[in-house]
Amino acid sequence: MNDARNNARRLAPDSYGEALVETPALPGRLGPLLRGEWVKPSGDTSATVLEPGTGQVLATLPTASEGELAQLLSRPMAVGRAASASDRAAAMRRLAEAVEANGPQLAALESLTTGRPIARTLHDDAPLLAGALRCFAEWTHLVGTADAGEPVVVPLTAYQSLLTCMDSLAPALACGRSVVFRAEPQAALPILRLMELVREEEVLRSLVSFVIVAAGERNEQRLIRPALVFADSDLDQAVEGIVPQAFTPALPGEAPGCHLFVEESIEPALLDRLRWRLGAARIGSPLDYNTELGPLPTKRALAAFEAHLTRAKSEGIAVERFAAPALLTAVRPDQIVARQALAGPAFVVISFRTPAEALSKLRATGARLGATTIWTEKAGKGQALAGEIAGRSTFCNTRDRLSPALTSGHAAFLRGETGDPWPFCSARPLEAAGFALEVEAEETPSAFAPFCTCRLIWQALGV
Amino acid sequence: MQRRRINSAGVDARVRDLERRQLGKTAREAALGWAMSVVDLTTLEGADTPGRVRDLCSKALHPCSSMPDLPRPAAVCVYPAFVKQAKAHLAGSDVKVACVATAFPSGQYHLATRLGEVEAVVEDGVDEVDMVINRGAFLSGDHQRVGDEIRAVKQAAGPAHLKVILETGELATYDNVRRASDIAIQAGADFIKTSTGKIKPAATLGVTLVMLQAIRAHHLETGQRLGMKPAGGIASGDDAIKFFCLVKETLGEAWLDKSLFRIGASSLVDKLIAEIAALRVDGQES
């Protein structure tokens, strides 16, 4: 009898093997960029960009001080007045095509430097950026020309730089506004490549500036990602939706991690499934197609994450580690780890007894909210809760769904002459895709005056 | 039994995510070899003859003469009339003999007839019985009857392993698939199986995921491990690898064993052999 056949019991591979994408070429120019032109750095300070997983030096970038940045912002910026709306629109559409054509390189640069898995950057981030450019290109004729005035200053951190561009670059270009990107070194490389693409468009070139500011000790308050799980939800699908949310932030301003509010009656069952799932997490190189959790972008981020876990233990919270991910159970909303974003792949678990108590505990954290997910098979309950939650986007029974037409809620809708929000995509295509949508308009930053910021509620309409 | 509502959008999103997996070359060849080892090599045609069954058994014993290291399928699956013959051909090997029973594929016969069929194949020495549930009873809401009939078949099957076919294509919704899975598990199934392979859709990744989650829930509650068999519509190496990833990520590596996972297929083995051969030629040339 052939020995290989005798061994038929254990033939499956232990892993998927490596499915690495090619290491991307670095951008040709490493900044800074002033009104579309590469300039010599004014100082002699620099910062290194490291590959997060290996510590290998990828590039050394010139940095500007806060004072130099303030001086830059005090100069009058270009306005897209010379370009007609149709020229601007055509340029944005060409830029969108260029982003698509260079999507693999942009995505790989983002993954290489931020640790975000290539499956997300390639299939989500880069296509969303191209889609946003196309969508906002359609609104230039209604925006008209912009007044000279304050530029849009976009801080870029190492958690998700391409998505931040989706949120800010596309509407700014549509308005003919100048954009100044101030990037942490670790966030710079994919955006520098993007700047090379923008510069190829004559009418858009002068609108963009890019400086790298050394990452200081800014204690930026990042947004938390709450998930509310009710006893009447499909627990298996809820876990599959929650885990990616904790591993990679979806919206600008968010950090990895999840504040998990779970109905007490199902807490043991949910945690069993969550432990099972975390034990099977696919951790690896962010350039590996199968990886779902890459390294944190910087040593500072890793230190902050470990500090959170140490603090949790000191508060008497149970901390379970699954290689990189962590599970913090029996947390109270007043404890420190509940009030802050975790900056790493961890779950803070807080139980509740009723929907009202879920809302009350969520508010009691006092944390600023990113996107919230609600898991319940009762559509009415999900909608009612979503209406009470003060975050920017709420997802009911679904994972992160970003539409280039709606971005993350910022500058999503055009404000008509009467001041009312004027949706530029009708609800019907969303309904056909299985989502309902509600809009509540808010005041928008003046740089995007023609647009309004909206609160979005995505409701999965499954059968 | 708690009525569970399945988040269908979530299931479909998870399936889309799983379909993105890419295996390295070595891992791919190993996964294809694994797929061969868990196949129930099947012939269930009205035109089956002793010669056809003989050829099937021969294929199971010697899948590929040019690659004798390839694993054998886990079992052959035939109609009840051919169990004795298959047992004789496969005597002394580790390839099991499974057969369909209980008025396959419709299941629309008197219970006594269906039980008699099971008793007959057990007497013929079958190793595994693949029964069909009473979909008429299920869809008319008589879930108690569905469970009672499974229990009766389990008793009639004696020492033979019982696989319970849900015919997910007729159940139509994920809610129904989960409900039927829970009923079968509670009634004593050793395996739950998606389909007869006689209608479409047969085994999809979505229904398989829902059934694997039912098995996992049962394991979390009781510690017991039950098996899963998707059948029908798995026609290529790519299909097999998607199911490999699905099982690995939902239940873990313990379930990647022929005692807990099978693929019901008729032409898949030849496709797997061709693909492994191509990979090996590629490997030699590079």
**Going from the N-terminus, what domains does chain A have, and what CATH number goes with each?**
33-212 (3.40.605.10), 226-460 (3.40.309.10)
Looking only at the bridges linking them, the beta strands covering A152-156 and A57-62 are unpaired
Contacting A with CB below 8 Å, chain B residues are: 4-11, 13-14, 20-28, 30-31, 33-34, 37, 68-72, 94, 173, 213, 216-217, 220, 244-245, 248-249, 252-253, 256-258
Residue B169 falls in which region: left (phi positive, over 0), alpha (psi -120 to 50) or beta: alpha
DSSP state letter for A455? E
Mean of the pLDDT values across residues B182-209? 96
Please enumerate in sequence order all residues whose Cβ is within 8 A of that of B80, keeping only pairs 6 or more positions apart, or say none. Answer: B99, B100, B101, B117, B120, B121, B124
Give me chain B's average pLDDT, please.
94
End-to-end CA distance of chain A: 52
Instruction: Please indicate whether, in this complex, the C-beta atoms of B14 and A19 are within 8 angstroms of each other.
Output: no
Q: Which of A164, A35, A57 is nearest to A110 (CA)?
A: A164
Say what the pLDDT of residue A11 is.
62
- Tens of pLDDT along B30-54? 999 999 999 999 999 999 999 999 9
Long-range contacts of A40-45 (CB under 8 A, 24+ apart): A42/A68, A43/A68, A45/A214
B248 contacts in chain A (CB < 8 Å) = 12, 280
DSSP state letter for A174? H
Distance between CA atoms of residues A168 and A132, nearest Å: 10
C-alpha distance from A45 to closest chain B C-alpha (Å) = 42
* A11 vs B6, B34, B173: nearest CB: B34
Please enumerate in sequence order all residues whose Cβ is within 8 A of that of A119, keeping only pairs 6 or more positions apart, or say none. Answer: A289, A290, A291, A292, B20
Say what the pLDDT of residue A425 is.
44
In Å, how far are A153, A455, B113 from B131, measured between CA atoms? Answer: 66, 52, 13
| Token representation of residue A403 | 């539409």
CB-based contact A369:A361 (threshold 8 Å): no
- Look at residue B69 and tell me whether its pLDDT is greater than 80: yes
CB-based contact B231:B197 (threshold 8 Å): yes
The residue among B22, B64, B215 with the most chain A CBs within 10 A of its CB, best to mutate, is B22
Distance between CA atoms of residues B36 and A248, nearest Å: 36
Say what the pLDDT of residue A399 is.
75
Instruction: Please indicate whether, in this complex, the C-beta atoms of A12 and B245 are within 8 angstroms of each other.
Output: no
Q: 3-state SS of A87-118?
A: HHHHHHHHHHHHHHHCHHHHHHHHHHHHCCCH
pLDDT band at B195 (very low <50, low <70, confident <90, very high): very high
What are the phi and psi torsion angles at A350 (to 5°)?
-125, 125
CB-based contact A165:A194 (threshold 8 Å): yes
Active-site pick, B193, B242, B258, B271: B193
Say what the pLDDT of residue B286 is.
62
Least trusted range by pLDDT, from A5-9, B132-136, B248-252: A5-9
Q: Which of A364, A361, A384 is nearest to A374 (CA)?
A: A384
Q: Which of A7, A16, A1, A15 is nearest to B258 (CA)?
A: A7
Instruction: Please indicate whether, in this complex, the C-beta atoms of B30 and A13 are within 8 angstroms of each other.
Output: yes
For the question of residue B229 being annotated catalytic, the response is yes
- Tens of pLDDT along A21-54? 888 999 988 878 888 888 887 778 889 999 998 8
Say what the pLDDT of residue A427 is.
47
Instruction: Please indicate whether, in this complex, the C-beta atoms of B30 and A240 are within 8 angstroms of each other.
Output: no
Distance between CA atoms of residues B107 and B103, nearest Å: 5
pLDDT band at B230 (very low <50, low <70, confident <90, very high): very high
Active-site pick, B130, B182, B190, B239: B130
What are the phi and psi torsion angles at A58 (to 5°)?
-95, -40
A399 contacts in chain B (CB < 8 Å) = 10, 13
| Token representation of residue B61 | 């014993």
Distance between CA atoms of residues A306 and A345, nearest Å: 11
Q: DSSP 3-state helix, strand, coil percentages of chain B (rounded to 5)?
A: 50, 10, 35
Task: DSSP for A220-284, please give it.
Answer: --PBB-EEEE-TTS-HHHHHHHHHHHHHS--STTB-S-EEEEEEGGGHHHHHHHHHHHHHT--B-
A276 contacts in chain B (CB < 8 Å) = 216, 220, 252
Distance between CA atoms of residues B37 and B260, nearest Å: 12
Please enumerate in sequence order all residues whose Cβ is within 8 A of that of B219, keeping only pairs 6 or more positions apart, or say none. Answer: B225, B226, B251
User: What is this model's ipTM?
Assistant: 0.89
* B23 vs A19, A375, A462: nearest CB: A19
DSSP helix/strand/coil, B120 = helix
Strand residue runs (E) in chain B: 39-42, 75-78, 96-101, 128-132, 161-165, 191-193, 227-229, 263-265
Q: How many CB atoms lie within 10 A of CB A299?
A: 11
Nearest chain B residue (CA) to A2: B69
pTM of the complete model: 0.89
A11 contacts in chain B (CB < 8 Å) = 30, 33-34, 37, 71
DSSP helix/strand/coil, A328 = strand
The residue among A6, A122, A234, A395 with the most chain B CBs within 10 A of its CB, best to mutate, is A234
The residue among B5, B6, B7, B279 with the most chain A CBs within 10 A of its CB, best to mutate, is B7
Task: DSSP for A119-152, please give it.
Answer: HHIIIIIHHHHHHHHHHHHTTHHHH----S-PPE
Say what the pLDDT of residue A8 is.
39
End-to-end CA distance of chain B: 57
Distance between CA atoms of residues A293 and B72, nearest Å: 37
**Position of tokens 């800010």?**
A168
Say what the pLDDT of residue B132 is.
97
CA B21 to chain centre: 23
Q: Looking at chain A from residue 208 to 247, which residues have their Cβ under 8 Å from any Cβ of chain B?
A: 232-234, 236-238, 240-241
- Calculate what percentage of chain B has a pLDDT beyond 90: 92
C-alpha distance from A276 to closest chain B C-alpha (Å) = 9
Please enumerate in sequence order all residues whose Cβ is within 8 A of that of A257, keeping only pairs 6 or more positions apart, or say none. Answer: A224, A225, A246, A341, A342, A343, A344, A345, A346, A347, A348
Instruction: Please indicate whether, in this complex, the C-beta atoms of B23 and A17 are within 8 angstroms of each other.
Output: yes
CB-based contact B258:A8 (threshold 8 Å): yes
Residues of chain A predicted below pLDDT 50: 1-10, 80, 217, 424-429
Distance between CA atoms of residues A446 and A148, nearest Å: 12
C-alpha distance from A122 to closest chain B C-alpha (Å) = 12
* A12 vs B4, B70, B253: nearest CB: B253
Size of interface A-B (CB pairs under 8 A): 118
In Å, how far are B57, B80, B84, B89 from B50, measured between CA atoms? Answer: 11, 12, 11, 11
For the question of residue B154 being annotated catalytic, the response is no
Distance between CA atoms of residues A212 and A69, nearest Å: 9
Distance between CA atoms of residues B226 and B255, nearest Å: 9
Instruction: Please indicate whether, in this complex, the C-beta atoms of A460 and B10 are within 8 angstroms of each other.
Output: yes
Instruction: Please indicate whether, in this complex, the C-beta atoms of A276 and B68 are within 8 angstroms of each other.
Output: no
Q: Which of A363, A408, A374 is nearest to A260 (CA)?
A: A374
Say what the pLDDT of residue A50 is.
92
Distance between CA atoms of residues A309 and B50, nearest Å: 67
* B24 vs A2, A17, A232: nearest CB: A17
CB-based contact B83:B48 (threshold 8 Å): no
- Tens of pLDDT along B99-117? 999 999 999 999 999 999 9
- Look at residue B196 and tell me whether its pLDDT is greater than 90: yes
Say what the pLDDT of residue A1 is.
36
Say what the pLDDT of residue A428 is.
46
pLDDT band at B2 (very low <50, low <70, confident <90, very high): low
